[in-house]
Structure 1
Amino acid sequence: MTDIVNHPDIDNRPNAFTQAEIGWTPWLAPLAEEELTDRHWAGLVDPSRSKSPYFMLLARDPEILEARTKTDKDIFYNTRAGLPRAERELSATAASRSNGCIFCASVHSRFASHFSKRPDSVQRLLDEGVEADLGSRRWNAVVKASVALTATPQAFGPREIAHLREEGLDDLEIADAIHGAAFFNWANRLMLSVGEPTPAGV
């Protein structure tokens, strides 16, 4: 049975959406690095993730973690076709903002800002919420579609796809927007269920 982690009170827990780096701590005990077997290392995919308490917690089920990580990498790093990286990160940020996942929103908003060179627009999404006008009809359409899918999959349909097409997205780009939002719709709920954000370095 996985132990529950008893954490001391942490001052200044993040309670607002931010592009700054913040930390995250699990409520359940992650594996220690010395507990990792070859099976666990394979599940991590990237050995550097052994430094992350989140991935070390998920490594308790290494086959699921491996599938999760390879899916994540394909959605966000395989940019030879489809959406530019910035808009994939925008879809993840919109889902995370809608779900209230401060940690995921911080990570993916930084990526969205980095790849788009539009940090003010990304910050507006964090500050004002998913209804904010980001100064781009295309970005607004990606956010709106991501939020519709996040609310409940049945809320996403032909209207959202038509709106994305109107803003110039082709089939592969629409698929990428859906994948980014859908993945983080799931990932947010998992992260919110097993831990909490902390100040950077805690």
Structure 2
Amino acid sequence: MTTDLDDLQEEHVLSTVDLEGPDRFTQDGLGWTPWLAPLPVEEFEDRHWAGVVERDRAKMPYFALLAREPEILAARTLTDFDIFQNPDGGLPFAERELSAAAASRVNGCVFCASVHASAATRLSGREADVQELLDHGTSAAVDERWDALIETARALTVTPSEFSAAHIDRLHALGLTDLDIADVIAGAAFFNWANRLMLSLGEPTIPRRRRA
């Protein structure tokens, strides 16, 4: 069932003048404020709970907003989980998160970059290296392997046609398998789409508890 956008447009939740957003890329936790009203939890039916997959996600404004189209949200969520949480071989989780963080850095999605950068730090223990990506973009030099992963994500993000066999050869030379490389591609490709969706629906905010 398609949501009537004319109805939603009458339900703007906050004017941007009421928001305080981040002024830089960060690994700190951020809030996110939608420009359209999320679906209230009390209005969730079985199909909406199926859409968020995990019930706690209904508390997050982004997923509560996407729950207005629950079947699409379910497909999105299950794809997300399979790329970033599937333990059946493939790239280490930290580097899957790095690929997503690099794509988000190129696209300018500060919220997504913060989520995936902090996850890359948590899973790798390499906070300074992850922060280098956030501070200096995809041209930042970290080490040979991470530089190759970041460059692959950058090329896919700028335009898929910039990604070439040379990127695959570089990753193979560093010992990555075809399955590893598929995870790099999936992480960047998924967040190319996810960034654009999030950027069109709302904006990141600094949680009130952290405001000066």
Superposed pair shares fold, TM > 0.5: yes
TM-score, normalised with respect to structure 1: 0.96
- 1:168-179 to 2 correspondences below 5 Å: 168-179=175-186
Does residue 29 (structure 1) correspond to residue 26 (structure 2)? The answer is no
Does residue 160 (structure 1) correspond to residue 167 (structure 2)? The answer is yes
Give the drift of 1:166: 1.5
Residues in 1 aligned to 2:208 and 2:73: alpha-carbon distance in whole angstroms = 24
Give the drift of 1:56: 0.6
Give the drift of 1:150: 0.6
**Of 138, 143, 146, which residue of structure 1 is paired with 2:145?**
138
**Of 90, 93, 100, which residue of structure 1 is paired with 2:98?**
90
Give the drift of 1:110: 0.4
Give the drift of 1:156: 1.2
Residues in 1 aligned to 2:56 and 2:133: alpha-carbon distance in whole angstroms = 31
**Of 156, 159, 181, which residue of structure 2 is paired with 1:149?**
156
Deviation string 1:159-193 (CA, Å, 9 cap, x unpaired) is 11111111111100000000000000100000000
**Of 8, 22, 30, which residue of structure 2 is paired with 1:2?**
8
- 1:53-68 to 2 correspondences below 5 Å: 53-68=61-76
Give the drift of 1:116: 0.6
Aligned AA (1:89)? E
Aligned AA (1:193)? S
- 1:7-26 to 2 correspondences below 5 Å: 7-8=14-15, 9-10=17-18, 12-26=20-34
* Partner residue in 2 for 1:126: 134
Report the 3-state secondary structure (helix = DSSP H, G, I; strand = E; otherwise coil) of the residue aligned with 1:129.
Answer: helix
Residues in 2 aligned to 1:64 and 1:94: alpha-carbon distance in whole angstroms = 25
* Partner residue in 1 for 2:4: none
Aligned AA (2:69)? D
Residues in 2 aligned to 1:83 and 1:147: alpha-carbon distance in whole angstroms = 17
TM-score, normalised with respect to structure 2: 0.92
What are the ranges of 5 or more consecutive residues in structure 1 without an aligned counterpart?
A: none
Identity of aligned residues (%): 57
Deviation string 1:126-150 (CA, Å, 9 cap, x unpaired) is 001110001x211000000001001
**Of 43, 54, 62, which residue of structure 2 is paired with 1:46?**
54
Which runs of 4 or more aligned residues in structure 1 lie more than 6 Å from their structure 2 counterparts after TM superposition?
A: none
| Change in 2 beyond 3 A, CA 1:46/1:11 | closer
Give the root-mean-square deviation of aligned CA atoms. 1.2
Aligned AA (2:90)? G
**Of 185, 189, 209, which residue of structure 2 is paired with 1:182?**
189
Give the drift of 1:6: 4.3
Tell me whether 5-14 or 73-82 shows the greater mean CA deviation: 5-14
Residues in 2 aligned to 1:11 and 1:2: alpha-carbon distance in whole angstroms = 20
Deviation string 1:86-145 (CA, Å, 9 cap, x unpaired) is 0000000000000000000000000000111100000000001110001x2110000000
Query: Matched residue pairs, number?
Result: 201
Report the 3-state secondary structure (helix = DSSP H, G, I; strand = E; otherwise coil) of the residue aligned with 1:197.
Answer: strand
